[in-house]
Structure 1
């Protein structure tokens, strides 16, 4: 597997400056917002029953393949956002419980990455973790060839999601790789963006579940921003923007809102 295919993504993923869109200008302030709201986002959900939630902890290296459930029909790998590594399992459990209320009973596993430090440090860690997670997934799919793989990244976990697809580089495909309130750049899926080819090559479908009420997200605050002020641009055929604004009131609400989670599992 090529795990360094997207080694320059940190530089490439800054929102384009020519032409500059209104949404990109507004998004340029989001990193400072993340720093100030991190604690409130981390404490934004009621404690969930974490029983049965496996954890892949990448903070100290690459975990064993056997740390995840084996021989499952399908597994959702839920990736937390900034300042939430200590609550990664709880975040995954909240999603699982909400999913169960809308009829989805498959396995959910928490993916934990090192989100310590300032937002810029955490962003780089998220990008690095994407490459590690892709290598881990290659081994996991070899050991579990019949398991359907789904990735779901919240906030900066959306950066891990996209970097994972880039590092997979078409060597295998996952069924879905979705973002909720993604902090990836708003032009990331676009034809001139850094992840267009990765989305096409490494997943059957990629969804951006966005809320216009989300004052922290970048890509996750609206549909992909592929042009200037008056141009929509192009995204891959297997990329879909999904508006969940009616059910998601803020950056921390996605995983606990049945309207949002129902939209997610309807696409599974």
Structure 2
């Protein structure tokens, strides 16, 4: 059973200092990337979108985090969560990813993008908010199943990758998210490992008990995540994968798409990522990713 109230050892001052140093360099890159993200996706996505947007917010001073709507009840539901600064283009980002998995042969009955307040220069604040967004997402999923919904395919890019993994950690033990797919997840790889050393393993139990399959898509070309996470001798989840292939949950797989994805934003709408996910929604096999080129 996942203990959603457990406390984990805080990072040391040296660790936090190192993270802040790396993020000073990465921050400008990510903010610049967010600017580029506003130009991704087709123009028609904003006007003729197949994606329903549901907003998740912190409620200000008078309430906690909550969503402004429930998930549509369907046999097959695709849900996308954006990353840092992605709330301004969440609909087009979701459309890009949706199109890539549909081209791969997956046809959801409904598609949803979850929008959360990620446009802030305070990266650490946004990173911390992903846990709350993940908890709200878990509640939405529980209600979806209670209302008779079928399968949920939960995809998250960058900090959205943290959100979807937190959702697995926060969901009640009576439920299980069918597929979770982080794309270029902004996280340390050891968070999905077995927790054999301090600070690692925060998502291990959640993945093992709260998800059917977790497919983590990573690219060595994602220098944005790679410069901010992993540290000396460590792994960045969205760049290197977990870094502990023998110590991840049985339902978890790292999928290397380096040959296809050339940047942090390159995951969005990538044909190889979409085809691989569509063909392996319920599988922990890595699958064929050798056809992609830059």
Q: 1:27 to 1:254 in 2, by over 3 A?
A: farther
* 8 Å Cα contact 1:113/1:125 also seen in 2: no
Q: Give the one of 64, 67, 91 matched to 1:62.
A: 67
Report SS of the residue matched to 1:132. helix
Q: Report the counterpart of residue 102 of structure 1 in structure 2.
A: 104
- How far is 1:52 from its partner? 2.2
Q: Give the one of 41, 46, 62 matched to 2:41.
A: 46
Q: Report the counterpart of residue 200 of structure 1 in structure 2.
A: 208
Q: 1:166 to 1:28 in 2, by over 3 A?
A: farther
Q: Report the counterpart of residue 185 of structure 1 in structure 2.
A: 188
Give the TM-score taking structure 2 as reference length. 0.76
Give the TM-score taking structure 1 as reference length. 0.83
- How far is 1:86 from its partner? 1.5
Distance 1:245 1:28 in 2: 26
Q: Report the counterpart of residue 263 of structure 1 in structure 2.
A: 276
Q: Report the counterpart of residue 218 of structure 2 in structure 1.
A: 210
Question: What stretches of structure 1 move > 6 A for 4+ residues in a row?
Answer: 25-28
Mapped pair 1:132 → 2:136? yes
Mapped pair 1:219 → 2:219? no
What per-residue deviation string (whole Å, max 9, x for no partner) do you get for residues 3-43 of structure 1? x815656x66x69x99xxxxxx8997256414433232423
* 8 Å Cα contact 1:200/1:236 also seen in 2: yes
Q: Give the one of 141, 144, 158 matched to 2:145.
A: 141
Q: 1:6 to 1:179 in 2, by over 3 A?
A: farther
Q: 1:109 to 1:136 in 2, by over 3 A?
A: same
- How far is 1:179 from its partner? 0.5
What per-residue deviation string (whole Å, max 9, x for no partner) do you get for residues 131-162 of structure 1? 111112211211134x1011111000011011
* 8 Å Cα contact 1:77/1:152 also seen in 2: yes
What is the RMSD computed on CA atoms of the aligned residues? 2.7
Unmatched tracts of structure 2, length 5 or more: 60-65, 196-200, 226-235, 282-294
- How far is 1:46 from its partner? 3.1
* 8 Å Cα contact 1:155/1:182 also seen in 2: yes
- How far is 1:98 from its partner? 2.0
- How far is 1:216 from its partner? 1.7
Q: 1:258 to 1:121 in 2, by over 3 A?
A: same
Report SS of the residue matched to 2:67. coil
Mapped pair 1:244 → 2:254? no
May I ask how many residue pairs the two structures share in their alignment? 249
* 8 Å Cα contact 1:211/1:249 also seen in 2: yes
* 8 Å Cα contact 1:6/1:166 also seen in 2: no
- How far is 1:169 from its partner? 4.2
